[in-house]
Amino acid sequence: MARVQAEVEGHYRSEWVERIRREGGRAVIGQTTIHLAKAFGFCYGVERAIDLAYAARKVFPEKRIFLLGEIIHNPDVNAQITAMGIVPLEARPTENEFSGLTENDVVIVPAFGSEVTTVARIKMIGCQIVDTTCGDVMSVWKRVRQNSREAVTSIIHGKSGHEETRATASHALGSGDGHFLVVLNLKEADRVCEFLRGTVSKAILLDEFLGAYSEGFDPDIHLARIGVANQTTMLRSETEEVQQRLRDAISDRDGGDTANFRFFDTICGATQERQDALFDLLRTRLDVLLVVGGYNSSNTTHLAEIGEKAVSTYFIRNAECLSEPDAIQHFDIHSKEEVTTREWLPIGPAAIGITAGASCPNNLIEETILRVLVLRGEDVPASPQEIPLSSTSGSLP
């Protein structure tokens, strides 16, 4: 593993990022000030998943190795995994993909886990499984399995199509008698609250949440007792509000009694750390915020959501999105598509904030910093050791 970790570090580390971080997260180069969030990029769970994927290639050099979906939600990292000869399957493999597997093959389960039925099918084939599921995700599974044993329906705050939420939902079924309902946001949570208070019918609720609840789910029966869980990368403040609104609705329905409501704090610690670091960064006077990461990364999307409320924010995949000084390709989290914005980069003295999701490696942050400096016409130092740094954070009192 030491050799594997050295190889991973060689692919993804950045001396520029390390240097700036050591000196307080701020670098002034010409008229450009770069501010890095105190916490961003790879978390422990992501590093572990990547390490295990690299290790699998070394431990099984002659075997075919497959990966369920993506190891993490970052296209550059997934491209590197594929370049190592690890073959991606669908997160929910097709019948053709299942039939092509043999007992001599290795299958990697990604960091956000996989559905119970998928893993069971692979075990039946006899494949060697390398499970990289994050410990924080497995903690949520433990909670929803407990709910199923105690006839408590899991209300999962998350994205119903996300691999992690699908995996969590499969565990919420327990031995087959458990149930779940997925709510995406406060609007959907309020709709459930309206049913609990008797102002929305069962038929309407089932129609509006089609595809986001378990087979056989009957709101009249299965919302009698509820427990709130979540996709670990959601926005903490929103999850807490979902919990509070559902608790209040249960209390109203049950005459002030909340015995039929439970919740657990299952937001990933790294996700929260990165959100807190961004809130802290936004206390600094910034002209632009760049959020770097995969467009399908939930935790990165929430960073962009936080940023856009305070400053001009651009969610980019990598430095290639910074094509020219007056054009940036970035992901619009509302329209769910990549768009181009003109005249995005300030002229004259400017403060540029940068953060990244838990699935973004430091080398992509370095490339982003260097590209910004080039577009700004700055004299880029040949080595990070030559960066004129300031140890002050630039935060307002």
CA dist 176 → 146, 151, 181, 275 (Å): 13, 11, 15, 36
3-state helix/strand/coil string of 305-365: HHHHCCCCEEEECCHHHCCECCEEEEEECCCCEEEEEECCCCCCCEEEEEEECCCCCHHHH
CA dist 119 → 98, 112, 288 (Å): 11, 13, 44
Give the largest CA-CA distance in the chain: 69
The tally of CA atoms less than 13 A away on the side-chain side of residue 5 is 6
Do 57 and 128 form a contact (C-beta atoms < 8 A)? Answer: no
Strands (E), 163-285: 180-183, 226-230, 261-263
Q: How far apart are CA 166 and CA 238, in angstroms?
A: 20
**AA identity, residue 373:** L
Q: How far apart are CA 367 and CA 100, in angstroms?
A: 39
Active-site pick, 47, 70, 115, 164: 164
Q: How far apart are CA 397 and CA 395, in angstroms?
A: 7
**AA identity, residue 296:** N
Q: How far apart are CA 128 and CA 106, in angstroms?
A: 5
- Cα 368 → chain centroid: 20
Helix (H) or strand (E) holding 152: none
Q: How many residues does the chain have?
A: 397
What is residue 21's three-state secondary structure? helix
Residue 305 annotated to the active site: no
What is residue 260's three-state secondary structure? coil
Write the DSSP assignment of 57-69 as a string of letters. Answer: HHHSTTS-EEEES
Q: How far apart are CA 306 and CA 271, in angstroms?
A: 13
- What are the catalytic residues? 164
